[in-house]
Amino acid sequence: MTNPTASNIHIALVHFPVYNKVGDIVTSSVTTLDVHDISRISRTYGIATFYVVTPLSTQQVLVERMMKHWLEGYGSTYNPTRKEALLVTRVKNVLDDAVTDIATRTGKRPKTVIPDAKSFPQSRDYPTIREELKNKDEQYLLVFGTGWGLEHGLVKRADFVLAPIEGLSGYNHLPVRAAVSVILDRLLAREA
């Protein structure tokens, strides 16, 4: 089965520039588990490309080694005929490189969608973004920060800002891999 519904949608997991607990701008470490989980989640929801964004070359090597193992291991034997339709994971230095990569490959500069707890002029609710993503003439890049969140200047330049996942308890510290699952499900799951 090819994937007509989500092939214009890409994800970036950004490790710089992000905040740490005390508000400094830092480069967070790549968590191989996040890469592994988000790859599986992305495949499930038919994401076209998953970008791991970090400027640290040692971490880039780590991710590339891990992905190679996975794509040529389990991923390659799971269903070889579907291999080409499956996720492409790419490592990039900075978010702009992911944007450029999509523009080069598709001929279209992607619109960026970033979840953030604050309200921005370009903030939209989930049903609105869900509709927006159905526009097959556009490319979209969903951007997820690690650590304590993406640097605000980066969020300000987003085309769309999404409300974060709000729980029922006032406790909102979902692991990024859980937030990605929930957000993709809200934006891309088949209608009930």
Give residues 159-188 in contact with its own copies (rule: CB under 8 A). Answer: 165-175, 177-179, 181-182, 185-186, 188
- Give which of 7, 13, 187, 1 is closest to 87, Cα–Cα: 7
C-alpha to C-alpha distances, 15 to 28, 37, 94, 101, nearest whole angstrom? 5, 16, 9, 18
Nearer to its own copies, 63 or 154 (CB): 63
Rounded least distance, CB 55 to its own copies, Å: 27
Q: Which stretch binds its own copies (CB under 8 A): 111-119, 120-128, 132-140, 154-162?
A: 120-128
Give the Cα separation of 30 and 36 in Å (integer). Answer: 11
Contact between 137 and its own copies per CB under 8 A = no
Pair type for strands 25-26 and 18-19: antiparallel
Nearer to its own copies, 5 or 100 (CB): 5
Nearest 10 degrees: CA dihedral of 174, 179, 95, 74?
A: 110
Go through the chain and tell me how many residues it has.
192
Judged by CB under 8 A, how many residues of this single chain contact its own copies? Answer: 42
Tokens of 185: 């499900």
- Choosing from 25, 71, 85, 94, the residue that interacts with its own copies (CB under 8 A) is 85
C-alpha to C-alpha distances, 124 to 60, 112, 140, nearest whole angstrom? 33, 12, 15
Which residues partner with 86 through β-bridges? none
Q: Which stretch binds its own copies (CB under 8 A): 22-30, 55-63, 125-133, 148-156?
A: 125-133
CB 33 within 8 A of CB 176: no
Nearer to its own copies, 58 or 173 (CB): 173
Nearer to its own copies, 22 or 168 (CB): 168
Which residues partner with 138 through β-bridges? none
Give residues 13-52 in contact with its own copies (rule: CB under 8 A). Answer: 33, 37, 40-41, 43-46
Name the residues that contact its own copies, by CB under 8 A.
1, 3, 5-6, 33, 37, 40-41, 43-46, 78-79, 82, 85-86, 125-127, 165-175, 177-179, 181-182, 185-186, 188-190, 192
